[in-house]
Amino acid sequence: MAEDLPLFELKNVSVDYFLSGKSYRAVHNVNLKGHQGETVGIVGESGSGKSSLARALLMLEPISSGSIFFQGTDLQELSSSNLRKLRKHMQVIFQDPDASLNPRRTAGWHLDEVFSIHFSQVPSQKREELIVQVLHTVNLDQTLVSRYPFELSGGQKQRLAIARALLLSPKLLILDEPLSSLDAQLRKSTLNLLKTIQEEEGLGYIFITHDLSTLGAIAQKVAVMYRGSVVELARVHELYSDAAHPYTIALLSCIPIPDPQAERARKTLTFPQHSPILPVGTGCPFAHRCPYATAVCKQSCPPTQEISSGHFVACHYPCPNLIVRQGGSVSSSGPQNCIGPGC
Ligand code: ADP
Ligand code: MG
């Protein structure tokens, strides 16, 4: 594989759904790519199209326009049997592990099922060896194989789901809010586990979350989604220090601070809730909530521009001088470099 060949690449991908005879856009012209061993974070509020984008990448959702490549192969050109074969390399872990577990079957059965479906020729002794190995990788005790899902904790079920995915030796793991149902300590240990697996196996990850604070620990770059569009894309530390889209700034200012006094004193960017199923108009999708929106924002959709190397923003007034201070208040380093009306 050529060194710079992306593991996956989405080019101008859109997904439309139909509700009561009307179509609306859940994913709008998204461009995104990631490499082997890299974690691409996708962040955005509920309903912003993160899961639809993941399903589109897996070709589980028909796309209305655009192209999807996996290791240079255009997925739309594959026959359904070749697509099925290639999907083994792209595994997905969901927020709720229960959704993929049969309550009447043991943990061991769930692991063995992977072989029954995909590698039926593997003899039972080899299956057992591989199952022991994968349980070790995800730090699950072997004695758990005889337990039913209701006898496992949330963290154990999530590890079981990860183990099942790993048995297929995937190249890409799509982690769709994998930590949301876990408590703080389990979140940390699962995150560490995922990092270790990635280092050892060289997997690419897509890590979907509504919590921007998690991504600093795992992602190299982050796409911020708002109403189906990627409004900002940057390396994670640049996003934390130089976020340029008002929506990203708002997300950053929502990260809780453990000091109650500082939390009470902080200023956050607030805006009204929206209906995610509003049709996408001609203007900026964030204009009706943006504290800095002008008439231009309501009339025309901002093009995506590269404001520094690898840092893309879809805003008429990208404002890298807006600073989210420790404590969440927002200020600008001055109008001299900034073209935004918020400065
Ligand atoms: P997120 O994962 O960011 O919460 P989703 O991708 O699940 O967002 O959903 C984006 C929008 O698409 C939401 O308004 C949701 O209600 C809608 N949606 C998701 N799946 C479907 C579906 N299968 N049919 C119709 N609408 C859907
Ligand atoms: Mg989702």
Kindly give the confidence (pLDDT) of every residue in the chain, 343 residues in length, as a single tens digit, with 9 standing for 90 and above.
Answer: 555 899 999 999 999 998 888 888 999 999 999 999 999 999 999 999 999 999 999 999 999 999 999 999 999 999 999 999 999 999 999 888 888 899 999 999 999 999 988 888 889 899 999 999 999 999 899 999 999 999 999 889 999 999 999 999 999 999 999 888 778 888 888 899 899 999 988 999 999 998 888 999 999 999 999 999 999 999 999 999 889 999 998 888 877 777 777 666 665 656 555 555 555 567 898 888 887 888 999 899 999 999 999 999 999 988 755 544 334 444 444 333 444 444 4
Q: How far is CA 254 from its chain centroid?
A: 18
**Model confidence over 163-195: pLDDT tens digits?**
999 999 999 999 999 888 778 888 888 899 899
Handedness of CA 291, 295, 299, 300 (dihedral sign): negative
Q: Within 13 Å of residue 66, how many CA atoms lie on the same side as its CB? A: 24
Atom of ligand 1 nearest to the CA of 228: 10
Distance between Cα 45 and ligand 2 center (Å): 9
Q: What is the pTM of this model?
A: 0.88
Residue with tokens 């309501």: 298
How high is the pLDDT of residue 146?
95
**CA 198 to CA 25: how far, in whole Å?**
33
Of 235, 204, 215, 214, nearest in space to 39 by CA: 204
Atom of ligand 1 nearest to the CA of 18: 25
How high is the pLDDT of residue 267?
58
Atom of ligand 1 nearest to the CA of 53: 6
DSSP 229: E
Mutate to test the pocket of ligand 1, among 16, 17, 50, 275 (most ligand atoms within 8 A of CB): 17
Beta bridge partners of 106: none
Residue whose Cα lies nearest atom 27 of ligand 1: it is 17
**CA 275 to CA 258: how far, in whole Å?**
31
Distance between Cα 211 and ligand 2 center (Å): 12
Handedness of CA 134, 137, 138, 139 (dihedral sign): positive
Q: Within 13 Å of residue 187, how many CA atoms lie on the same side as its CB? A: 15
- The ranges of the chain annotated as CATH 3.40.50.300 are 8-225
Residue whose Cα lies nearest atom 7 of ligand 1: it is 51
Of 248, 254, 249, 256, nearest in space to 225 by CA: 248
Atom of ligand 1 nearest to the CA of 210: 3
Reply yes or no on domain 8-225 having CATH 3.40.50.720.
no
